[in-house]
Amino acid sequence: MDSTTLLVAATAIGALAFLARTAVLLGREPGGVDSWYYLCYARAFRRAPGLKVRLPQYLLQDQQQSYAPVFPSLLALIPEKILGRVFWAISPGIDCLTLILLFLLALKLTAAPTVAVIAALAYAVSPTLISETRALSPRSFGVLLHAVSLVLLLRASIGIPHWTWTAGALLSGAFVYLSSATASASYVFVAGALSVILGEPRHFLIAIAAMPIAWAVSLGHLGRVFANYAHAVRYWVRHRRTFGSHPILDSPIYGGPRPGAGSRPRELGFLGQGLGPQMLRLLGENPFLLVLPLAGSSSWRTGWSQALFVWAASISAFGVISTVVWPLRAFGPGRNYMKSAIFPTAYILAAAIGTPKGLMSAPGLATLAALGASMVSVIFFLVYMRGKKNELTAHVPPGLRALALRLASLPEGGVVCLPGGYSDYITYKTGRAVLWGGHSGSLDKFELVSPVWRERVEDAARTRGVRYLIVERTWVDLGVLALDAGCVLLAHEGGFDLYDLLAAPPR
């Protein structure tokens, strides 16, 4: 394969990766679960630069944000008008940078264009990466930093040693701690596995040494970040029996819980009930995981290949363990860790194949089957996400956008949204306070609305000075809410209702 052909192939794979990660948004206004929170954070940082960013519009969380600060702070460097137009492309773009890093690493280590192309193609069509890049979040950024930090960490002990590799590994590891919770956890786990399996304690020592560096670089903010993680873990452990409950239908205030709602820890929704569906989703989004043992049995596992295999296998094992052992789900679903496993896994599979003739070997045929399964999984994901009718996460429902515009002409007052996930969009677009939280600090106040509501919606809103209510009708039946006579309907747009909770005295 000459250099021109290789460049064309790499460009085509990069374009395929970006298209696959943005296809769910085609023809629709981009949205995302947490996109609007990070845009709010970036706006606040832009107004008052520093690590003590305050978001007082969130009424159910601490005003001072204790989230990992690097990603939203970098967003603030982009002018708001530009960021508001291109935010949907940032996470897919960052993931494509990771793909480029993988391509160059494979080319450097093997000098085999076929290996580099196969590795890049496997990364490009990975279902878990495509599903995780549909919204603006630090996950893709964390995957990139995770890959960079571990490559530098391995280079510090493989090949001709030099202090610059160790320094780079320490600094990049510090930024991992300040960027993403899942990337941080998997970074430490992989470093420990590398030290134990390869007999090289330097890997784990570098990962641990990067922690005080992160604390110093952040002027102690890392302590607040870790405290934030502790708050989240305590919250989910405390409410483990109501994971995935419907905030209204399973609330005792509204006649819940429904039968079976508190029977076991689970996550309702897309393939979310119980261990079996969780494992099905983990494997469905990561078909290359099944091929990894076959590729790893080859005799070429020495040096970089051996280290990358340990990297891939350790994160894969961590993801499975975190799925099977339910208390570990407090840190997030096990499949979340698999994002960081695709980088080394793609390299291992490609290196096991080697040349085009290697496609007919057992690892090659298994990898081709995994590629086919990945494409089927991606198509299923896109069809599912584009077919959702309520609680949309990938894009902004037109009715919600219309009500946000309507709020601009109404008197001052906060907003409560049902479902609550729309609150981030409303506060970003309108600047109004929202009865929502959960992003930062103590979650005690957030327990008012999650996992289930503890007060009637209109009563909780009025008590806290919130005037307006937005309801998505397909998410909850208005007959269940049974709003009192003090709630006056102001507008109905595309399946969404807007109520004024203070328009008339309640009877």
- pLDDT class for 266, splitting at 50, 70, 90? very low
* pLDDT exceeds 60 at position 272: no
pLDDT at residue 262 above 50? no
What was the pLDDT predicted at 351? Answer: 86
Q: How far apart are CA 369 and CA 217, in angstroms?
A: 46
Q: Which residue has the higher pLDDT, 241 or 450?
A: 450
Asked whether the predicted pLDDT for residue 332 surpasses 50, the reply is yes
Please state, in angstroms and rounded to a whole number, the distance separating the CA atoms of residues 363 and 350: 9
Taking CA atoms, 395 is separated from 129, 398, 421, in Å, by 18, 9, 12
Task: Kindly report whether the peptide bond that precedes residue 344 is cis, defined as omega within 30 degrees of 0.
Answer: no
Maximum distance among all Cα pairs of the chain, rounded to whole angstroms: 79
* pTM of the shown model: 0.89
- Identify the band that residue 439 occupies on the pLDDT scale cut at 50, 70 and 90: confident
Query: How buried is residue 435: exposed, middle or buried, by Cβ count under 10 Å (0-12/13-18/19+)?
Result: buried
What was the pLDDT predicted at 61? Answer: 92
Higher per-residue confidence, 212 vs 182? 212
pLDDT at 352 over 80: yes
- Per-residue model confidence as pLDDT tens digits over 8-22: 999 999 999 999 888
Return d(Cα 507, Cα 503) in angstroms, integer: 12
pLDDT band at 275 (very low <50, low <70, confident <90, very high): low
| pLDDT mean over 147-173 | 92
Which pLDDT belongs to residue 56?
94
Read off φ and ψ for residue 244, nearest 5 degrees.
75, 5
Section 199-207 average pLDDT:
93
Q: What does the block give as tokens for 20?
A: 């696959």
Average pLDDT score, the chain = 86
Cα–Cα dist 217/191, whole Å = 21
Structure confidence at residue 34 (pLDDT): 84
- For residue 271, the model assigns a pLDDT of 43
Contact 506, 458 (CB under 8 A): yes
C-alpha distance from residue 203 to each of 148, 192, 307, 310 (Å): 14, 7, 11, 12
Read off the pLDDT of residues 282-331 as tens digits, 9 standing for 90 and up: 777 778 887 887 776 554 556 888 899 999 999 888 888 877 776 666 66
Q: Which of 178-192, 255-269, 375-389 has the highest mean pLDDT?
A: 178-192
Model pLDDT, residue 331: 62
pLDDT at site 74: 94
Q: Check pLDDT > 90 for residue 463.
A: yes
* 451 preceded by a cis bond (ω within 30 of 0): yes
The mean pLDDT of 198-209, rounded to a whole number, is 93
User: Among 45-59, 70-84, 385-399, 490-504, whose mean pLDDT is lowest?
Assistant: 385-399
| pLDDT band at 400; cut points 50, 70, 90 | very high
pLDDT at 366 over 60: yes
pLDDT of residue 1: 67
- State mean pLDDT over 92-102: 95
DSSP conformation class of 417: E
384 vs 5: CA distance, rounded Å: 36
Position 192 scores a pLDDT of: 95
What are the start-end ranges of the H helices in 64-79?
70-75
The pLDDT, as a whole number, for residue 503 is: 73
Residue 507 pLDDT > 70, yes or no? no
How are beta strands 434-437 and 58-60 bridged, if at all? parallel
